[in-house]
């Protein structure tokens, strides 16, 4: 079954009040796009918007690769977020604290803080980003 058919079937079930599907499998290439990073459009990034393809989801799960010189700009969080560094190096900041980060590290950011992250060095910074939504999506 193709990803589009599976998502359409799951969306139909959810809108009819049926139980959510057992799982949705998403191929990264099908949700990949180049775009400026959020919160300031600082540089360019490649986004893998996995959870956008999941109907009735309660959380976000994304991969973002910050190209050289790119950053997710400072923004205040309304929920906790976790960033996991897959590769590359960067500087993560929250409030008045800045820490260097590298592959294999996770950064837990808390609601109410102003945070962001910037790529540094010669290689792109690849991240997994996950956070809860205020409510389950309708799609």
Q: Which residues contact 31 (CB under 8 A, 6 or more apart)?
A: 48, 49, 50, 52, 53
Q: What secondary structure does DSSP assign to 44-91, as a single string? A: -EEEE-GGGG-TT-SEEEEEEEEPTT-EEEEEE-SS-EEEEEEESEEE
Give the chain's domains with CATH numbers: 29-132 (2.60.120.10)
Report how far residue 60's alpha carbon sits from residue 132's, in angstroms, rounded to the nearest whole number.
Answer: 6
Query: Based on C-alpha coordinates, what's the Rg of the chain?
Result: 16
Distances (CA, A) of 6 to 3, 9, 10, 22: 5, 5, 6, 11
pLDDT in tens, 66-125: 999 999 999 999 999 999 999 999 999 999 999 999 999 999 999 999 999 999 999 999
- Only one residue has tokens 């799609």, namely 139
- Burial of 37 by CB count in 10 Å (0-12 exposed, 13-18 middle, 19+ buried)? buried
pLDDT in tens, 123-138: 999 999 999 999 998 8
Residue 37 is given by DSSP the state P
């Amino acid at each position: 079954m193709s990803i589009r058919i599976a998502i359409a079937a799951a969306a139909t079930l959810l809108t009819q009040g049926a139980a959510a599907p057992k799982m949705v499998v998403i191929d990264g290439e099908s949700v990949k796009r180049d775009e400026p990073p959020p919160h300031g459009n600082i540089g360019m990034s490649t986004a893998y918007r996995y959870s956008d393809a999941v109907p009735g989801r309660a959380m976000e799960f994304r991969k973002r690769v910050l190209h050289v010189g790119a950053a997710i700009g400072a923004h205040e969080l309304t929920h906790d977020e976790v960033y996991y560094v897959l590769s590359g190096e960067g500087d993560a900041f929250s409030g008045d604290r800045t820490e260097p980060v590298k592959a294999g590290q996770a950064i837990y950011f808390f609601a109410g803080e102003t945070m962001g992250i910037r790529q540094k060095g010669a290689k792109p910074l690849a991240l997994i980003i996950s956070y809860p939504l205020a409510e389950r999506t309708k799609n």
